[in-house]
Amino acid sequence: MKLRLYTIGFTQKTAEEFFGLLQSAGVRKLVDVRENRVGQLSGFAKFPDIAYFLDRLLGIEYTHEPLFAPTPEIRDHYQATKDWGDYERSFRALMAEREVPEAINPADYEGSVALLCSEPTADKCHRRLIGEMLREHWTAAGHDVGLQHLTVPKAKGGRKKEVL
């Protein structure tokens, strides 16, 4: 089975940049991995608005996977300490406790699927950890799995390029 996983964060992106990245990647399904998907600060990525926009603008299916969300305790500890290594260890332990990725059916991720969270980049975001975990597990099971983090290209001088 061929699976193309993408990750995307909505902060520090305009709606045009966000939806343009998904469209350019050919994403057919978006999996929301946030614990709180209805926060006022989420703008266009607030549920249920995001599901409406994805469907109406791009024909992308929206789902929410709470198994992938960190606990408030893990998140709060990271916000207090900024210790990313500790966050990773705690999050990986939580995923093992929840039996992720064994509990996730790769057939539900066939084609091009994006994991959504809020962080602008994937380096210090749990969506990267999820993507890497799924890729490793499914590759070991014989699937062809790609992983790419969708970001807005930077123009020379550090300014954002226009997304077409």
Residues 111, 29: contact at Cβ < 8 Å?
Answer: yes
CA distances from 70 to 17, 46, 76 (A): 26, 18, 10
Share of the chain above pLDDT 70, in %: 93
**Nearest partner of 67 among 97, 22, 25, 107, judged by Cα:** 97
pLDDT for residue 162 is more than 50: no
Q: What is residue 37's predicted lDDT score, i.e. its pLDDT?
A: 84
**Model confidence pLDDT, tens digit, residues 104-126:** 999 999 999 999 999 999 999 99
pLDDT confidence tier of residue 40, bands split at 50, 70 and 90: low
How far from 123 is each of 16, 39, 50, 57, 114, CA to CA, in Å? 23, 23, 23, 28, 16
Name the pLDDT band for 159 (thresholds 50, 70, 90). very low
The SS3 assignment for 105 reads coil
The DSSP result for 42-76, as a single string, is GGGGSTTHHHHHIIIII--EEEE-GGGSPPHHHHH
pLDDT of residue 3: 96
